[in-house]
Every structure is written in structure tokens, then in C-alpha cells.
Amino acid sequence: MSKLNDADGRTAKLLQALWPDGMPERDRVIFEGLLPDRRAAVIARLDAVWRAENGEPLAPLAKGIGLKRAAFYNLRQAWQERSLEGIIPNALRKPRRMKIALDSPLRALARSLIIEDGMTSRNLDIARRLADDPLGIAEIFGRTEQIRLQSAERLVRHERRALSREPDYLRNNFSRRLVIDMTAVSILLEGNSQLAVVAVVLDAGSGLVLGSALNRLETAVEIERAAVEEARRFIARSQVDKTLGTGSACDLDIMLPTMATEPEDFGELREVTRKLDVRRPGTYGFGQELVQLIGPRMGRLPLAPRKTLSIDADPAALRRKVVELEPSQAGAYWDREVLRHNEPILNALAAANILGLGVPEGRMTAVLSAVDGLLLGS
């Protein structure tokens, strides 16, 4: 125990020396979300660059963290910006690019189908139209129709994500449709071999996670309420809501958690939504809207929607992707991946002059308040 306390004390002193005014919020989320083995490596790297800045010989410092002189030089250069991400191995890895050319007519067709649809259809439905189009028949290949459809769906998801970075599209579609969904994720909760479950409140137009929470499946109602409350706080703090007026309500797609008392009607929700879709617990219901909108991962963390109702099952199929963490570490790891997912979207919203120029309470807040009342009554 004393060795552990000594190590914690040394780490605290190092962080204080590196950030005398306190670690920036973004870096704090990243640091707390590091897996234990990765955190130890990052602390060793931070210690090495700090010692180098204070005049210690470079060669022994580089050798101590397993880097050659050139790599250690690059590490020190990255640290000049005081960004923690530059210290973490592979943290700045670029996402894979689509193999289809940017000016491909197929991509243009996928984009036009998404815009014409107006966020009323799932990616899979748009992918079917794309695959059945004469252009799609000519350009989308696969050994089976299922493989062709999967390729078309990946393209639709990619183009939807690209559209959600464009100012005009964001101004027209941000806050038009909210999605509240739940799914298991590839984190094994320490102590009882359960996969963690997350609730997510998502803006469908941008893909922005407005709020989320992580815990065990048996606390599903509490998880969803926590995600809703976090979303309300974000909306108020960022002033991104739009005024609720006649004909201006937003749509809602909600995955209900397993509740002690099933709601008999959704009158209050219908009053504050333009279109309401309610999904009830089921193996093929959990996480489907989330996967449709953002893909099979949050940041780099695989989602496991089909495992949501079988969280105690042997996770052999996910063995290479599952990490085992105690609940607070799991929550921090999840928050880091949400940050990774949200950052480019927040930059796009800022470029579109959406952040800070709305109202703190409006149509999204009205929907979330009604959802909270529904869950509270369970």
C-alpha cells in the first residue's frame, strides 16, 4: 500500500509541476480515461520530457522509456504545445479514409439521397435505394447482396458524417431530431463480469452526443435519466437550443429502458414533439439508432448492442476488444471516447455559428424534461 501511495504522490507532484494552474479540462478527461497500463506509460513519458526540460541528459531518458533519440526528440517537440495527446502513443492516429474518390458520382448520389430524405429514414433504408439505383448496381460490388448492402451502408454513413460538418446542413438540421438510445459497450465491469451499458442522448443532424452515462444494466432507468440530465446541462451551458413555437417541435426517437411501471400513454411527450418513435427493450432494439448514426464505435470503443440483454454471457466473441475496468475507470474511459467523438462536431458547430447563439431552454429542453418526467414516473 505504501508503494502505491508513494507512486500516487510522485504522479501528483509531476502533474502539478507540468500544470501549475491545474490540468486543462480536456486533458483531464483524456488522462482519467487512460487504461491503467497506458496511463503508466504516459506518466513515464511525461516524467522524461519534464526531466529533459530541466537539463538532464537526453540519451538515458530516451532509453528509459524505450525510444530512440529521434523519437524522443519528436516527443519533446509534441510536448511544446503542452497537449497531453501528443504524449500518448498512437493518440493522433488518423481515421481510415474511404477508398471511393471524393468526386465519385456514387458519393454524390449518396449525399443527395440523404439530403432529400430529410432525416426521416435509417441509413440502411437509404443504402438500399443507393444499391438499387442503376449507378449503384454498376459501382457497388460484392460476392453477395448482403455484402453489397453493407458497402452501401458504410458509404451512406460516411457521407452523412461528412454532411454533418457542413455549416448549411448543420444550420438546417441541428436540433431537428433527438435520439435517446442504450447499448452495451466493450467494457467488462470488474467484480461481476458484466458488460457496461451506456445511455446516450444524440442530436441526429450533427451526431453530437449531448449527454451520456454508463453503469450496469439493472440501473437502466437511472442511466437514462443521468444522460438526459447531462444533455440538459450541456444545452443550457452552450446555448444551442431553439425556441419552441408552433410547428417548430423536434422529433424524438427513444429507447425505453426496462421499467417497473410501463407508461400507459406518452401524452406529455407527444405535446412537445413533432414526431415520436418509442422503442421498447429487445435484443434487436438496443443501440440500433446509435449505430445507424455514428457507426459501430464511439471514438475507438466498440459498441455491443446485441449484448445489451445478455451482459452476463461469456464475451468470447469480443475477447480481443473487451477491457476489464472498475466502474469509475469505465466511466472515465467512456467519457474520453465521447470527447474524441464530439470534438470535430463541436468545431463544425462553432464554424456554423450555432454554439452560444441559441437559447438556453427551448424545444430540445422541453423534450428532455418530458422524458425525465416519464422515467421518474417508472
Please provide the size of the chain in residues: 378
Judged against a pLDDT cut of 50, whether residue 263 lies above it is answered with yes
The pLDDT confidence band at residue 79, using thresholds 50, 70 and 90, is confident
**All cell numbers assigned to 197:** 451499458
pLDDT of residue 98: 57
| Mean pLDDT, residues 347-372 | 92
Residue type, 108: A
More confident residue, 7 or 167: 167
Find residue 235's DSSP bridge partners: none
| Mean pLDDT, residues 128-156 | 84
Choose from 240-249, 293-302, 345-354 the range with maximum mean pLDDT: 345-354
| Mean pLDDT, residues 142-169 | 86
Measure Cα distances from 33 to 91, 195, 208, 223 in Å: 12, 17, 19, 19
- Which positions ≥6 away from 359 have C-beta within 8 Å? 239, 241, 242, 243
pLDDT of residue 260: 58
The pLDDT confidence band at residue 5, using thresholds 50, 70 and 90, is very low
The pLDDT confidence band at residue 102, using thresholds 50, 70 and 90, is low
d(C-alpha 331, C-alpha 250), whole Å = 30
More confident residue, 33 or 143: 33
pLDDT of residue 3: 39
The pLDDT confidence band at residue 6, using thresholds 50, 70 and 90, is very low
Nearest residue to 104 via CA among 145, 170, 158, 167 = 158
Judged against a pLDDT cut of 70, whether residue 188 lies above it is answered with yes
